[in-house]
Amino acid sequence: MRINKNISELKPSATLLINEKVKELRKKGEQVTHFGFGQSPFPIHNSIVEELKNNASNNHYLPVNGLSKLRHQVSNFLSEHQGIQRASDLIFIGPGSKELLYQSVLIVEGHFIIPKGSWVSYIPQIKSKGGTYSILETALEDNFKLTSNCLEVYLSESSHKEHILVLNSPNNPTGAIYSDAEYESLAAVCRKYKVIVFSDEIYSQINFSNTYSPSISKFYPEGTLVFGGLSKVFSAGGYRLGFMSLPKELDDLSVVYSSLFSETFSCVSSPVQFAALKAYEYSKELQHYVATSTAILDGISSYIYNELSRCSIQCTVPQGSFYMMIGFENFKILLKLLKLDTSAKLSHHLLNNYGVALLPGSDFGFKPNELFFRMAFVDFNGEKVMKAFEKGKEIDELFIKENCISIYKGVQQLIKFIKETI
């Protein structure tokens, strides 16, 4: 049997592989801190679960683009809680933002631009359609955010006619958030070169200093597709519901999306769409839930940042999402002598010898010899931590030891690795 070459050349996702390895080690009784897997640790809010239960007997196919009431609700949510004006008839509901991103990759033709420090799935999705892409350089000093200058230089020299820029903020893997000013200058470059932007805003409300995150669509509405969903903000990844929105300038695409949806997934599960209505009502209770989970992630990431920075491990400044990048570039020469000269080799070394699972930066657009890693700081019991936090406890070392022991041990193991190696 012949297999489509674009697909057969894809490798199993690094996240899943490391997850398997961690399971295997834990089965053998070994202590492992899983900084590799980025799933929300918090329980889904009860109001959403109840709505799912109430609609469990609903066996109807719903409209291909999603329940009309839900599309209105998402439009209101974006307007009230994200400052984005998007018409409800240009909002589409799909089985996760990943699928909607993939369908968009299939639909929109052009050369993709991926900033170094981007989510693992963008490049495989592009490869699977036989598309082309360039990775643009970013720097730790900028928290690995793409600068307008870098984009301008690239576009002024590019021989491709059409470009699609994929931006993600709050970011997986860096935890960085683009500011309004940064977006404004990126938007000017995108407008000049007529670049289409896929703005992945799946972590939007998980912002450590605000209740939402800026969107480039505010400055470049006409060229920006916005993506979001239930998985991160509402901790409901397994519900598989995401949304995307088109600008009115691209409303011709509407029928193209509907056709592809109808020939592929038909519609998102009915009970889940009704449960999502509850989420996007965004009651005061839910806002409190999101604020609490975000404050916890903020506290944990600050603890990790302070501990690791103190022993010269580089860290991005965590601003949102559940991730940060950490780096061992300061120890590069010594690590090279130990033959630990790529992030892939060093991640195996840390897992096998220190029980710490980190994903190598090479899966996120970094060069193999750049010693950066994605750290997901969600290896804790979210329900327990929420209860402890609600009692007014401050997130300090004692809190982490009492409530997030795996994270505490993982951080201590990384410090031990530096002390023993350097």
**CB of 148 closer than 8 Å to CB of 297:** no
Residue 167's SS3 state is: strand
Q: How many residues bind ligand PLP (CB under 6 A)?
A: 13
Instruction: Of 304, 312, 275, give the one whose Cα is nearest residue 404.
Output: 304
Phi and psi, residue 378, nearest 5°: -125, 20
Both tokens of residue 346? 């060093």
Residue 312's SS3 state is: coil
Phi and psi, residue 171, nearest 5°: -100, 140
Q: Does 168 bind ligand PLP (CB under 6 A)?
A: yes
Dist CA 149 CA 137 (whole Å): 11
Instruction: Of 26, 15, 36, 32, give the one whose Cα is nearest residue 358.
Output: 36
Stretch 236-255: interaction string toward ligand PLP, x if CB under 6 A: -x----x-------------
**Distance of closest approach, residue 98 Cβ to ligand PLP, in angstroms:** 3
Q: Does 96 bind ligand PLP (CB under 6 A)?
A: yes
Q: Does 202 bind ligand PLP (CB under 6 A)?
A: yes
**CB of 176 closer than 8 Å to CB of 144:** yes
Please identify, using beta-carbon distances, which residue of 118 and 342 lies nearer to ligand PLP.
118
H helices present in 252-342, as ranges: 253-264, 270-281, 284-310, 332-337
Please identify, using beta-carbon distances, which residue of 199 and 347 lies nearer to ligand PLP.
199
Residue choice 229, 271, 320, 365 for contact with ligand PLP (CB under 6 A): 229
**Distance of closest approach, residue 172 Cβ to ligand PLP, in angstroms:** 4
Q: 228 - beta bridge partners?
A: 243
Q: Does 200 bind ligand PLP (CB under 6 A)?
A: yes
Please identify, using beta-carbon distances, which residue of 174 and 403 lies nearer to ligand PLP.
174
Residue choice 231, 293, 294, 316 for contact with ligand PLP (CB under 6 A): 231
Q: Does 119 bind ligand PLP (CB under 6 A)?
A: yes
Dist CA 14 CA 399 (whole Å): 31
Q: Does 293 bind ligand PLP (CB under 6 A)?
A: no
Stretch that binds ligand PLP, among 94-102, 126-134, 214-222, 366-374 (CB under 6 A): 94-102
Residues numbered 378 to 407 that lie near ligand PLP (CB under 6 A) are none
Both tokens of residue 100? 């909607």
Please identify, using beta-carbon distances, which residue of 260 and 388 lies nearer to ligand PLP.
260
Please identify, using beta-carbon distances, which residue of 335 and 359 lies nearer to ligand PLP.
359
Please identify, using beta-carbon distances, which residue of 75 and 199 lies nearer to ligand PLP.
199
Dist CA 244 CA 207 (whole Å): 20
Stretch that binds ligand PLP, among 2-10, 20-28, 40-48, 91-99 (CB under 6 A): 91-99
Both tokens of residue 192? 């000049």
| DSSP-assigned letters across all residues of 365-391 | T--TTS-EEEEE---S-HHHHHHHHHT
Instruction: Of 314, 293, 272, 250, give the one whose Cα is nearest residue 389.
Output: 293
Residue choice 98, 116, 278, 374 for contact with ligand PLP (CB under 6 A): 98
Stretch that binds ligand PLP, among 95-103, 134-142, 306-314, 406-414 (CB under 6 A): 95-103
CB-based closest residue to ligand PLP: 96
Q: Does 172 bind ligand PLP (CB under 6 A)?
A: yes
Chain residues binding ligand PLP by CB under 6 A are 38, 96-98, 119, 168, 172, 200, 202, 229, 231, 237, 242
